[in-house]
Every structure is written in structure tokens, then in C-alpha cells.
């Protein structure tokens, strides 16, 4: 199991439609869809990052419902997916959790839909993941994408997913599924 | 643009948790997420199939809101994605729409998470899509998946997506994103 890759979905700092840095609200389906996709590809952690205490509590309440509440018996597959979810208040907290659980240094990978000059390809990152002496944390942005400061902070920037033609507006849930398949899938 | 591939999301006939054939309710995010993913990969049509008149009307109302209502100015990217959405009452109606718009014979491709004996691989189907004298319609099931009769009716059954390890419960939105990337993506 390639437990040296984890995902963080950031609700801050991200841009809104007017390129202002904001905190977005989480959506329920982002918990379930991304947890199931991450779990299918063998990831050990999926962090929902939000500085809002109320949002963290609400995420935790949903996870608990399916993890140990009524939903645990009703839908064990969902329980297993949600067992990898962690609600944290900052990217730093996610990194600390990973370092403590995996006992390995953590490399940060920023992602986005825009073209940038200093990106690595999916093929190259797939090779990098073979280094089992490191852990990798893939950052995804909500809203209109990760704030620039995260690209400056990242160790690696992943190339954007190109579709067919000029329209390129993948939902974050779909983009993540494609990323994990390119990085870990076999067919 | 590979307009010889289209997608149909079926809300009937599909299984529920107890393997009974049912009609499921559509979810709003299935309209938006799948439309954006299909549009990003250059597809010309995304059919939501449901025999329920009320559900068809509700889908149409949502599409109209973003296509020509208030939402069209607010979010032109969403408008463009939703322009390929069609709400139809049966798979046959989807096939008729495709035949009339594309003037080419339509081949049906069934998909599901279970292993079956007579599947074609993603690599093979990618080759088949090069035949521009045909159109291909990819069927995806909601609920617990497409009813067996659709696999009997299909011209082709696509191999399931395998993750890493034994857990394999991708959301339909994520599964479709991975399928289109494997069939049409380049990186």
C-alpha cells in the first residue's frame, strides 16, 4: 500500500471569483467523494483544512456519524473510507500529523489548473513516489484555487491536467480522481 | 474534438443496496460535476436518464437556470458545461438523440465495478474510439450500479477500474473522471 501519499483539501488560503483570499465552506460531498477515492487508491490520510472552528466541528460530527454512529453499521464501506479523514485547522497541523504518524519527512506538492513554468510532470512525480523514505502531501484548493503563497511554500508543483480543447474546468473531486489514477493507478 | 463519445448517467434500471431494481433520485452535483468533466474532455452530450417526469422537469429547471437564467451571466463556465446536458426518459431516447445529431450508428458501452468475463480493456476501447464512423455511448449507473439487462444489451463491457488494495468504492463522479482520462487524456 503506497501510504507515502496523502491529500489535503484546503478551504484557506484560497481565491474566490474575484481573486481575493478567502475561507470557503466545506461541502458534504467533498468529504465522502474524496475519502472514497483516496481510500480506493490506498492513501492513509485525507485532511480537510479549515481555520473555522465551527466548520471543523461540523466535519467531525459528520465523520463520527458514519464512523461510529448510526451510519457505521448501515454503510461499512463508507465507514472505512471516512476512517482516513482528519479535520485540521492549518496545513502545518496536517504536516505535523503526517510526520508523527509516518515518521518520515514530508514533501508538499501544490496543484492547480493554471500553467506554471516550474512544474513536474505526472510521470516524474509517479517516479518520485517510489522513494519510500519520504511522504508526499498533495494540496488541492477549493473555490478558485490555492493562493500563490502555497505554490511558493511547496517543494513541488504538479503540472495541470489538460483536457481536450480549451475548456478546462474540472471539479476538484474529478481532478483529484484523475491525479491519483495517473500517480498510482494501473491498467 | 472527439465528439464520437457521449455519457449517459442512468437512474433506472439500477440496483439498490438489496439488489432490487429501482429508480434513484438525481443529485444536483451529478449534473454539475459530470457536465464539467465531460466538457473538459470534449464530449458533445451528457444524458441524465430518468423515467420520472418530475425529476426530468427538475433537471431541466436547474439546467435552464445556469444556461439562460440568472446563472448564465454569473458563471459562463458553468453555462458552457451545462450546454451539453440532456434530460431524457430512457436509454432509447438518448440513443435516438445521438443518432439524429451525429448521423452515425451508436455503440453502447456498459460500465461497473464488478469483475466480468467478457470485458474490453481501457487500452482497447481507446483504440476503438479512433473509429470515427461510429459514436460511442458510455453508460454509468447510480445507486448500486447498472441492472444486468444493460450489460446484456450493451455492445461492449468496459473493464472495471482497479484501485490499490481490496477497497474499491469509487463515487460515480470520480469513476467517470478516471474513465475519460484513460480514454481521451494525454499527459
> What 3-state class would DSSP assign to A108?
strand
User: Which residues in chain A have their CB less than 8 angstroms from residue B187's CB?
Assistant: 121-123, 159, 161-162, 182
Strands lying side by side in the sheet with B5-10: B85-88, B46-49, B5-10, B135-141, B106-110, B156-158, B119-120
CB pairs under 8 A between A and B: 123
- Closest Cα to residue B162, out of B110, B121, B126? B121
Burial class (CB in 10 A: 0-12, 13-18, 19+), B22: middle
Chain A CA closest to residue B3: A164
Query: Is A163 in contact with B42 (Cβ distance < 8 A)?
Result: yes
Q: What is the pLDDT of residue A81?
A: 85
| pLDDT tens string A151-167 | 999 999 999 999 898 88
Query: Is A187 in contact with B39 (Cβ distance < 8 A)?
Result: no
Burial class (CB in 10 A: 0-12, 13-18, 19+), B82: buried
- Closest Cα to residue B91, out of B81, B102, B106, B73? B106
Q: With contact defined as beta carbons under 8 Å apart, do A61 and A22 qualify? A: no
| pLDDT tens string A14-59 | 999 999 999 999 998 899 999 999 999 999 899 999 999 999 999 9
> What 3-state class would DSSP assign to B121?
coil
Q: Cis peptide before B13, with omega less than 30 degrees from 0?
A: yes
A3 to chain B nearest CA, in Å? 10
Query: Is B177 in contact with A182 (Cβ distance < 8 A)?
Result: no
Query: Is B161 in contact with A185 (Cβ distance < 8 A)?
Result: yes
Chain A CA closest to residue B78: A169
User: CA–CA separation, A175 vs B60, rounded Å?
Assistant: 26
| pLDDT tens string B106-155 | 999 999 999 998 999 999 999 999 999 999 999 999 999 999 999 999 99
User: Which residues in chain B have their CB less than 8 angstroms from residue A39's CB?
Assistant: 167, 169
Q: With contact defined as beta carbons under 8 Å apart, do A42 and A83 qualify? A: no
Burial class (CB in 10 A: 0-12, 13-18, 19+), A20: exposed
User: Which residues in chain B have their CB less than 8 angstroms from residue A26's CB?
Assistant: none
pLDDT at A110 > cutoff 60: yes
Name the pLDDT band for A122 (thresholds 50, 70, 90): very high
Averaged in consecutive runs of 10 residues, what is the pLDDT profile of chain B (187 residues)? 85 96 93 94 95 94 84 79 92 95 93 94 96 95 96 97 90 97 94
Query: Who's near A71: CB < 8 A, 6+ residues apart?
Result: A65, A78, A79
Bridge partners, B10 (sequence order)? B49, B141
pLDDT at A70 > cutoff 80: no
User: Which residues in chain A have their CB less than 8 angstroms from residue B159's CB?
Assistant: 187
Which of B159, B164, B178 lies closest to A177 in CB terms? B178
Query: Is B39 in contact with A77 (Cβ distance < 8 A)?
Result: no
pLDDT at A96 > cutoff 70: yes
User: Which residues in chain B have their CB less than 8 angstroms from residue A171's CB?
Assistant: 32-33, 36-37, 173
Q: With contact defined as beta carbons under 8 Å apart, do A116 and A150 qualify? A: no
Which of B1, B123, B161 lies closest to A164 in CB terms? B1
User: CA–CA separation, B141 vs B100, rounded Å?
Assistant: 24
Query: Is A169 in contact with B39 (Cβ distance < 8 A)?
Result: yes
Q: How far is CA B114 from the centre of its chain?
A: 18
Mean of the per-residue pLDDT values of chain A: 93
Chain A interface mutation, best of B7, B177, B179, highest count of A Cβ atoms under 10 Å: B177
Quote the ipTM score: 0.94
Query: Is B181 in contact with A178 (Cβ distance < 8 A)?
Result: yes
Question: What's the length of chain A?
Answer: 187
pTM of the entire predicted model: 0.94
Which of A1, A169, A178 lies closest to B81 in CB terms? A169
Amino acid at each position: 500500500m503506497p501510504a507515502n501519499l496523502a491529500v489535503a483539501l484546503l478551504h484557506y488560503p484560497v481565491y474566490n471569483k474575484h481573486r481575493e483570499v478567502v475561507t470557503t465552506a466545506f461541502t458534504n460531498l467533498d468529504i465522502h467523494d474524496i475519502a472514497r477515492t483516496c481510500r480506493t487508491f490506498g492513501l492513509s490520510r485525507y485532511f480537510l483544512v479549515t481555520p473555522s472552528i465551527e466548520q471543523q466541528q461540523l466535519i467531525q460530527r459528520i465523520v463520527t456519524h458514519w464512523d461510529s454512529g448510526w451510519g457505521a453499521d448501515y454503510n461499512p464501506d463508507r465507514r472505512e473510507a471516512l476512517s482516513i479523514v482528519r479535520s485540521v485547522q492549518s496545513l502545518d497541523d496536517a504536516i505535523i500529523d503526517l510526520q508523527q504518524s509516518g515518521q518520515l519527512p514530508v514533501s508538499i506538492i501544490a496543484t492547480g489548473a493554471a500553467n506554471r513554468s516550474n512544474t513536474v510532470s505526472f510521470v516524474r512525480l509517479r517516479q518520485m513516489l517510489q522513494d519510500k523514505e519520504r511522504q508526499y502531501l498533495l494540496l488541492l484548493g477549493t473555490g478558485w484555487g490555492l493562493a500563490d503563497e502555497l505554490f511558493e511554500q511547496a517543494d513541488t508543483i504538479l503540472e495541470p491536467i489538460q483536457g481536450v480543447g480549451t475548456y478546462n474546468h474540472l471539479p476538484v473531486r474529478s481532478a483529484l480522481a484523475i491525479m491519483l489514477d495517473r500517480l498510482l493507478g494501473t491498467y
